[in-house]
Chains A and B, each alone.
Chain A
Amino acid sequence: GENVEQHPSTLSVQEGDSAVIKCTYSDSASNYFPWYKQELGKRPQLIIDIRSNVGEKKDQRIAVTLNKTAKHFSLHITETQPEDSAVYFCAASISSMDTGRRALTFGSGTRLQVQP
């Protein structure tokens, strides 16, 4: 099955700096890569996703890049703010016309701390 590895496990940055979280996946058939944010005591929520037919996607201060050849994808947060502090999870899954989308395989999470 799919295996997703995520690094680093913890990341501390100063407010205004950029943060980068990296994930690798094992199944070359995976074609959908979402990122979830989980604030302390709250449920995980989708913040951005990318499909394998694009290499980069941006949404304001958040961007995700995908390298299919190397089987890795990254989350980039620019101009970090204290409210960005949370645990971030990457995930991967396979979508096909025959079976629809398989369940997500999540990475182990990155605890991001933005120091004011």
Chain B
Amino acid sequence: ETGVTQTPRHLVMGMTNKKSLKCEQHLGHNAMYWYKQSAKKPLELMFVYNFKEQTENNSVPSRFSPECPNSSHLFLHLHTLQPEDSALYLCASSLRGAGGPSYEQYFGPGTRLTVT
């Protein structure tokens, strides 16, 4: 285990559903990330949170809504998704900040999302 967990591991939802993905890290990191991985774009950064503050949003549609209540938890709220949103959603965490000992990103196992 890398210390980053994601639930659920698999999710099937209709286009009118609302669901949430959860990520939790037990590594004492201060930054968390959401990535989308699909055949078209293997590792596509979606959002970055640094000390609970969103610092990057890579032009992600508003049907994806992130939430970071604390530095250990990250959510991705899903609403009225499209079939093309079907993908593996990966969460990652790292230490960020000048002079930090390590900037390696530790990935969770991912949530395989299928939108029907």
Q: How far is the CB of A91 from chain B (nearest CB, A)?
A: 8
By secondary structure, the A interface counts as strand
Tier of interface size on chain B: 20 to 34
A:67-106 near B, CB below 8 Å: 87, 89, 93, 95-106
Q: Are A96 and B105 in contact (CB-based, < 8 A)?
A: no
Q: Are B108 and A89 in contact (CB-based, < 8 A)?
A: no
By secondary structure, the B interface counts as loop
Give Cα distance in the complex from A41 to B98, angstroms: 34
Chain B residues with Cβ below 8 Å from A32 are 103
Q: In this complex, which of B55, B103, B104, B107 has the most chain A Cβ atoms within 10 angstroms of its Cβ? A: B103
- A-B contacts counted at CB < 8 A amount to 57
Assess whether B56 is interfacial by the CB under 8 Å rule.
yes
Give Cα distance in the complex from A57 to B60, angstroms: 36
Q: B-side interface residues toward A, CB under 8 Å?
A: 2, 33, 41-45, 48, 50, 55-56, 90, 96-100, 103-105, 107-110
Closest 7 CB pairs of A and B: A43-B107, A106-B43, A109-B42, A100-B97, A97-B98, A46-B104, A103-B48
